[in-house]
Amino acid sequence: MSSLPDASVLPPRLSPRSFDRWNGLVTAGEDADGREVLAPFTGEAFGSVPTSTPADVDRAVGDARDAHERWADRDVEARAAVFERFHDLILDRREELLDVMQLESGKSRGDAYEEVMDVAMTARYYATRAGDQLASERRRGALPFLSTARVHHDPVGVVGIIAPWNYPLTLAVGDAIPALLAGNAVVLKPAGETPYTALATVELLREAGLPHDAFHVVAGEGKRLGDPLIERVDYVSFTGSTAVGRQIAAKAGEELVDASLELGGKNPIYVRPDVDVDTAVERTIGACFTNAGQLCISAERVYVHEDVYDAFARRFVDAVGDLTLDSNYGYGVDVGSLVSESQLERVKRHVADARERGATVEVGGETRPDVGPYFYAPTVLTDLPADATAACEETFGPVVGMESVANDAEAVAEANDTEYGLHACILSGDVKRARAIAQDVDAGTVAINDGYMTAWAAHDAPMGGRNDSGLGRRHGPEGIERFTESKTVTTSRALPFSPVSGPTALEAKVLATGLKLWRRIPFLR
């Protein structure tokens, strides 16, 4: 059975009654087992959420399918109006949401605030643009003047979203917004660590006017619920690790269900010799240590041009050592907690392996139990061998390797020397040169003179990974089109020859001459 938190362990704006309501939003039987949810700031369980079974997944998808028909019948302007209201609601209720996010993820308030801004901006973007993005389009028919073609964008039906814990608002709801606006219903499986952020947001969506059955949440273990979900939905939007992404892709392939996979990264940042060093240090810190490094597009490999290496490295290491860590619910903290003991163990393992292989720990390299059970000091490693775990695998924590490079070509070669291809950054005083370098970087996004914010928050531009970092794109027209199926409707006005016996000799000659002419008439090509 699920249990409610004791008021004394909750931040002031949250009450046990809210958790009671949120537990009621999970599709789970009356006597469902409960799964404990931990507060990373203390390491203690603060309550438990009901867990769904495969039968609950079946029920959730069935109910969502019925709701989808009615929801898709509303015109897009009516659907968009829900997200306009949601936009305002999420901004008005942000402080409570920030408390929920911090409580279950352990992130700093500033990091949580970014998620609220992001989801509001996503809601505004798609509410404004979906009408045009989903409108049917005229395309060229088979033969000029004789036939027409029109493409319609129908919703796929029910979209299954499987989300990770690191950005529990953005990654659970950000993809649901275009999916719903396209006329689909959604069944979401949030990460076990962070169910309440998703549930609190679903409550706001309902308040904004989203029909109840259009958005269901199933909670529980990924493997147990993932397979039945993929078997029943019409599209899978997965965000998480590359290892699990491969399993999702295999299952989706078996079921012939389309999927987008937003996976891991080992992102590089390149500091060119023409930077202002202090600004470059500030930007690099943002790129590496936001959300305690638990950000798919944060940088874990820092390449610094040898001409500025000494000056940059000294100031960077000092500034990293000055970052503040705290487990409180106020603004102004630089670095929050890691999400769990297993995440802390992973970070410790990567740093221990680096040490064993001869890396130098310039700063950090230790746990911070004085701040909280899962805190880890922001860490900079040098002399990191290429085969060290921290050099080639995603650490997903506040640990970066730093080395010098002789020139742009070497920086690009190093940046591309990875199985991943999610995101990269280039810091440079010469934007034109940086743009040219970006062309050679094998990543889905490249941010110039910024860590990740301008790339992520460009909601009109596609975002996603190459290589082992995933398949498909979120954001922009691509981010809503994936939740639709196209239907091409053609109309014949006249046929150039009999559809049964084919052309006569004369028609064949006229047609061949017509085709030759067609290629030569620019406005008809």
Residue with tokens 């880890």: 376
Q: Which of 104, 193, 288, 296 is catalytic?
A: 296
Query: Applying CB under 6 A, does 5 fall inside the site for ligand NAD?
Result: no
Choices 149-157, 236-244, 281-289, 317-325; region in contact with ligand NAD by CB under 6 A: 236-244
Residue 365 — left, alpha, or beta (φ > 0 → left; ψ -120 to 50 → alpha)? left
Query: Applying CB under 6 A, does 265 fall inside the site for ligand NAD?
Result: yes
Nearer to ligand NAD, 10 or 296 (CB): 296
Choices 7-15, 148-156, 186-194, 299-307; region in contact with ligand NAD by CB under 6 A: 186-194
Query: Applying CB under 6 A, does 155 fall inside the site for ligand NAD?
Result: no
Spatial distance between the Cα atoms of 260 and 238, rounded to a whole number of angstroms: 6
Choices 19-27, 138-146, 208-216, 262-270; region in contact with ligand NAD by CB under 6 A: 262-270
Residue 191 — left, alpha, or beta (φ > 0 → left; ψ -120 to 50 → alpha)? beta
Spatial distance between the Cα atoms of 454 and 275, rounded to a whole number of angstroms: 19
Nearer to ligand NAD, 226 or 365 (CB): 226
Residue selected from 63, 114, 262, 300 as contacting ligand NAD according to rule CB under 6 A: 262
Nearer to ligand NAD, 81 or 392 (CB): 392
Polymer length of the chain: 525
Least distance to ligand NAD from the beta carbon of 264, Å? 3
Active site residue 288: no
Q: Which of residues 69-108 bind ligand NAD (CB under 6 A)?
A: none
Nearer to ligand NAD, 328 or 467 (CB): 467
Distances (CA, A) of 319 to 274, 286, 379: 20, 11, 11
* Alpha helix (H) residue ranges in 290-425: 306-321, 341-356, 389-392, 408-415
Q: Which of residues 278-307 bind ligand NAD (CB under 6 A)?
A: 296
Spatial distance between the Cα atoms of 371 and 40, rounded to a whole number of angstroms: 11
Residue with tokens 């033969």: 143
Burial tier of 493 (Cβ tally within 10 Å: 0-12, 13-18, 19+):
exposed
Choices 115-123, 241-249, 269-277, 299-307; region in contact with ligand NAD by CB under 6 A: 241-249
Residue whose C-alpha is closest to residue 386's, from 431, 423, 345, 418: 418
Active site residue 507: no
Active-site residue list: 262, 296
Footprint on this chain of ligand NAD (rule: CB under 6 A): 162-167, 171, 189, 191-192, 222-223, 226, 239-241, 244, 247-248, 262-265, 296, 394, 396, 422, 465, 470
